[in-house]
Amino acid sequence: MNDAFNRMFQQMLQQGQEMARSFNPALEQVDTKAFEKLIPTMPADVMEMWFGKTFNREGLDAKTRLLLTIGAITVQGAMAEPQLRMTIRQAIEAGATKREIAETIYQMSMFAGLPAMQKALEIAASSYDDEEDGA
């Protein structure tokens, strides 16, 4: 890599890490070096794909992107419960209301069916309870 590309790539990684922290403040302490032992190129590839080119693009704000993610996870059904809980918490942090989250899940009933919608609404309700309990 030449110096200009390396600087641009490092800036993109930094922007990706800042975006990840805005989604979930706990990611501030994530050490991507730990992943390098498992898959040497994974941290850079993942950061570039998810946060550099996907989540860091212009056109949609973080809240909208997270609501879309909630919709996609809802369609996947109950097999993605931990991811749905985390995304709901991140969406709330990004400014989404409980009503917006519920409407997003309701909209997915057309694509995922009523059982998937019901399960997602139950997960959302229990996630709200967790938030209110300080968990």
pLDDT digits (tens, 9 = 90+) for 73-129: 999 886 788 889 989 998 998 899 999 999 999 999 999 899 999 999 999 999 887
What does the alpha-carbon distance between residue 126 and residue 130 come to, in Å, rounded to a whole number? 6
Do residues 83 and 71 lie in contact, with contact meaning Cβ atoms separated by under 8 Å?
A: no
User: Is residue 35 exposed (0-12), middle (13-18) or buried (19+ Cβ within 10 Å)?
Assistant: middle
Selection from 23, 127, 25, 132 nearest residue 85 by Cα: 127
Please state the rounded mean pLDDT for residues 13-34: 64
Summary count for the chain: helices (H), strands (E): 8, 0
* Per-residue pLDDT at 135 exceeds 50: no
Do residues 56 and 15 lie in contact, with contact meaning Cβ atoms separated by under 8 Å?
A: yes
Do residues 98 and 128 lie in contact, with contact meaning Cβ atoms separated by under 8 Å?
A: yes
Please state the rounded mean pLDDT for residues 32-60: 62
Tokens 């909209």 sit at which residue? 107
